[in-house]
Chain A
Amino acid sequence: QQQVKQSPQSLIVQKGGISIINCAYENTAFDYFPWYQQFPGKGPALLIAIRPDVSEKKEGRFTISFNKSAKQFSLHIMDSQPGDSATYFCAANPMGSNYQLIWGAGTKLIIKP
Chain B
Amino acid sequence: NAGVTQTPKFQVLKTGQSMTLQCAQDMNHEYMSWYRQDPGMGLRLIHYSVGAGITDQGEVPNGYNVSRSTTEDFPLRLLSAAPSQTSVYFCASSSFTGSNQPQHFGDGTRLSIL
Contact = CB atoms under 8 A, between A and B. Distances in A.
B100 interface: yes
Given A41-B107, A43-B92, A43-B108, A98 B42 contact: no
B5 to A, nearest CB: 11
B31 A89 contact: no
B107 A98 contact: no
Contact of B90 (A6, A34, A44, A104): A44
Interface residues of B, number: 27
Contacts, number: 61
Interface string A17-40: 000000000000001101010000
A42 interface: yes
Give the one of A34, A98, A101, A106 with max B CB within 10 A.
A98
B71 to A, nearest CB: 15
